[in-house]
Amino acid sequence: MDEGTAKLERADPLELFDAWHSEAWKFEGDANAMSCATATAEGVPSVRIVLLKGRDARGFVFYTNFNSRKGGELGARQQASLAFHWKSLKRQVRIDGLVETVTEAEADAYFASRPRDSQVAAWASLQSEPMAERFELERRLAHYSLKFEGGPVPRPPHWSGFRVVPERIEFWIDRPFRLHERLLFSRTDTSAGSSAVKGWSVTRLYP
């Protein structure tokens, strides 16, 4: 084990994520882009790219339409997996956890910070539903633009945020010949070969 890896094993995983995320912004076009995987009630997986909009001691936050496919699946199963891949840094972070909705106050504050056109679009788009032609969306955009003209755009009742509360966070570092470094931080994991780090256990994984 090299000194750098040993230092990572002693790190708080949330603080380590913040450090990697901050560094990624120097090289990546959008370091907030992350894959978000969900599953249907039958266990059929589904994945898409969403944007990280907050990270605190409780978890990782993104916003969406609750009536969308991912909104429905997250509401039903309340579990998700996230993955960040920062190719320029040759690093990856995977996060598995339970899902909770953000508070009304959190959702209102973030919605108010969005560009007005994005606020109107949240009302106009029937996300994930079939659309016969583009004109349907344009008509709805025009309708809600007129409806809210001259005043603030309220947050739609179907639009809010999810917080993924991490149970497992894996850090991956590219190494030559595919002998990559993998460190898995798990909450309340007492498996053999693990060592406790600030409420987390740390396990080295084969690449």
Beta-carbon count within 10 A of 54 CB: 16
Residue 163 in contact with residue 102, Cβ under 8 Å?
yes
| 3-state DSSP assignment of residue 133 | coil
Per the residue annotation, which of 10, 155, 178, 182 is the catalytic one?
178
178 is catalytic: yes
Residue (of 158, 164, 127, 153) closest to 53 by Cα position: 164
**What angle (nearest 5°) sits at the alpha carbon of residue 161, between those of residues 52 and 120?**
95
Beta-carbon count within 10 A of 18 CB: 12
Judging by DSSP bridges, how do beta strands 45-51 and 54-55 pair with one another?
Answer: unpaired
The catalytic residue positions are: 178
